[in-house]
Structure 1
């Protein structure tokens, strides 16, 4: 690697990773009434990234692929900030913010392949508690195989019904791993939602499956076309990788969390644990659910006290209804959580799934 290339990488990686962390903080703490204060907290890391990115020099042809990935990650990160800044200037609304945040997973997807070459990138894709875990870092240094990493099955942006998978690089066929199937929110997609979970699946050890709904959101009304598709996806994954059938977690955000109830409470569901996040629930769902299925079923409910879409009282009532029906319910209410995904809950969910 030439000296100029090294200098450029050293110059651009820190502001890129810093800007991505800031976007992650923004996405987690976004609450419409607190928009200005959250913007004030993250500052302007996009300015440093803009300067470093603009200063990248021409690279020799053999480094074109590396340059393309870095460019893509920088451009998507800056596009996210540009969209948010427009709203800050009074030229957009909450929908514009959500649209801008779609660039965040695209930036992460472009950057992730560089984790095998650059330790700071690899560290970025671990949760904070494991960034100095020597045993984990040693296993990651060995590198993966053709059976590990990120895979997409008919899950291009804009498509419906496909899925994305992440398999930790230290996966081995002779050791069964737990599986997390994570369902995106309304109008989202699995390819993007994968990144809400990848750090923790990589840090703690779980095969992560992120499907995309067959329609614009999950089949909460009318014909259920999603449950058969999820079962097909699960079977596909189980045929390719060694999955621990006693540790199958179905989780989801918002509409995805609600659908994890719809399909997960069915008597034929193979999932051993359910973990809806920021979801809604109708008491009739508990009454209509398979009574035998509910007895002792581990359910972990997470909800924000600031949730403006599904008020927290709904989650409190859900806990009471499911507990009364015989489920083994854990309820976690987060004081500063609005209607966003709390990535900090993932490690606790995996510990719970693993019997800890």
Structure 2
């Protein structure tokens, strides 16, 4: 089976997060499965599609330093992308991809695990990430678009922990030192493990060979089509629009709080972080004993259907707190979402815990 193998020069953040979209449309329309390799020109903050920027990014610092904040179409957490990582994008026909997220990652990330192991590094696959003795060396995600499945990921070649920690929102500057220390505790890189960074030519050769061997395919060196490039440029320009970058923040402009507060005898605003397999961040406004507005964000992946999270938030509006469990089950049964990072039961438990807060109980 012949697949396309495409390498590109370094790109800006807006082109990086949209490259696989135009390729997914090409594959959906009958084009060949494609492996795309390149890295970024300059650092940028990459925010997951289900996250609120204000909760995740130190905007004062990024604006001062001219570091772009870019929202991708894919779930997962906020990461700082630098030229010190090698990125890869695999786009395959839906029928060539396992339906379960765990099987999908196992199939398509095993070649990357093998590449890292080839340098004498004890790398293993853990969920959608590749780790070395508990430290992440490769962060990855997946999404569906049309008739294609996209797997995106990276190999950390070097780490700039100082820059990363400064871009991430923290409660205080004192806490930022802890964040930097923690990052060193849960992130590693090829350089950290073996003392040097392999050449790009060597790395590309290994990646190509491992995918061919593991997937039993043959790559043909190729280029993006003129139609893909045209769509890619169009999509990248759309990502620059602040309406897209802050769409989740602007969807809930009155829910910007990281605590619980009873405003009066009929109104309360409450936020809670709930750790399922991934992080759920829920902010709730209760007015006159019903849910007036809710925001659900986090570093999880909703692979399908598109727009599920927003429809779930809308469905919960006007629901009495006692009916939240039923409403969540109703929406899940109707839409049958494919989610990596939390389950229906996790979400129900998170809402139960949030609704049990004294600030909400006092007004319902």
Using the size of structure 1 for normalisation, the TM-score is: 0.27
Flag the structure with more relative contact order, 1 or 2, with Cα contacts below 8 A and sequence separation at least 6. 2
More strand by share: 2
More helix by share: 1
